[in-house]
Amino acid sequence: MTLRLKAAAFTPIPTSSDDSHLSLQEQARALAGLMHQHHQQLTSEQSEGEPLTGARHFLCSTMLELPFTSGALSLTHFRHADDPLAPSSYINTYECASWGYTLRYYLSQLKQAGQSQGQLLFSILDANLMGLSFWRQNENWGHSGFGLTSVWLDVEDVDSALQHLATSCAQTWNATPEFATLIRRHTSQRDDITLGLPFFPDHIRQIFDKLLAEQTRLPDHHARWGHVFGSDPWLAIIEQQQTAPTEQRYLPASIALNGYYCWAEVSVGADSRCYLNDAFQWPQERVAC
């Protein structure tokens, strides 16, 4: 085994005009509190032999680009004062595929340090803090979903993990068919792996239905959640483990609108803790910034 899912959690984040009384900074602080709750949840059942305190934590996002590049928000706003696992790095360039590039960077750092094992925590946060219509619905992915996903991975063999990790960019304008074709090639003659793919509406999902017809895939939950950006494959795994917690090898895979894509092979078992939480409730009072 290479990468082992220790724990994962997803919390949907509603977006409505009711949240307009909170500034961007106040919304970020509230979400830092949610991230802290996730970390407490992920570590609530850990044993003495699996401490998470030394893990590197990366924050990934697709739609927080504008608040960050404009200077309205910084990583500091997403660091809860009482959270020893607050994020130390923010990655946005690769959009939905940012988690894969985060994983590649971390594994490369382990290898350079001569370490074969380690722990990684990454959070995928997509919330429409500015209320932009582009993020509510788009012809490229249908209606959007918003939420926070936190994933704790145990690196059991860094060389093997790197061998089964893909991070690249589509070479053609037909990025999604190219992405599906590459996954088909990677998983050909493999009956031991289940795909976790992005959630798309029917007219896009037909590409997967055609090109990945022989592969085992987790259900597409676009009708329920919308397209939740980089969270999609992890949310699919969380849902599956909630329904049938069995030993399984998954291939979570993401593709970005700009053509970047990623996938990784991850083993999940009955001991992998998966949490599907109720929707986040925005605070009714102002949040200290």
pLDDT tier at 174, thresholds 50, 70, 90: very high
Q: Is residue 284 part of a domain?
A: no
Using a pLDDT cut of 70, give the percent of the chain over it. Answer: 93
Q: How many domains does the chain have?
A: 1
Asked if residue 131 is part of any domain, the answer here is yes
The reported pTM is 0.94
Q: Which amino acid is at 282?
A: W
In a domain, 196, yes or no: yes
- Mean pLDDT for the stretch of residues 187-210: 95
Q: Does residue 282 form part of some domain?
A: no
Average pLDDT over residues 30-37: 96
* In the predicted structure, residue 47 carries a pLDDT above the cut 70: no
* Average pLDDT rounded to a whole number, residues 176-201: 96
82 confidence band (pLDDT: 50, 70, 90): confident
CA dist 126 and 136 (Å) reads 11
pLDDT of residue 284: 81
Q: What is the CATH number of the domain that holds 117?
A: 3.40.47.10
Tell me, yes or no, whether 62 lies in a domain.
Answer: yes
Asked whether residue 283 is assigned to any structural domain, the reply reads no
pLDDT, residue 1, reads: 54
pLDDT digits over 147-162, tens only? 999 999 999 999 999 9
Q: Would 11 be classed as within a structural domain?
A: yes
Whether the pLDDT of residue 51 is over 80: the answer is no
Look-up: residue for tokens 């068919």? Answer: 177
- Specify if 280 maps to a domain: no
CA–CA gap between residue 243 and residue 31 (Å, rounded): 28
Is residue 3 helix, strand or coil? strand
What is the DSSP-derived secondary structure letter of residue 277?
P
Q: Which domain holds residue 47?
A: 3-274
Is 246 a residue whose pLDDT tops 70?
yes
| DSSP E strand boundaries for 46-117 | 56-60, 89-91
Q: Following DSSP, what letter does each residue of 64-84 receive, concatenated? A: THHHHHTTS--GGGG--TT-T
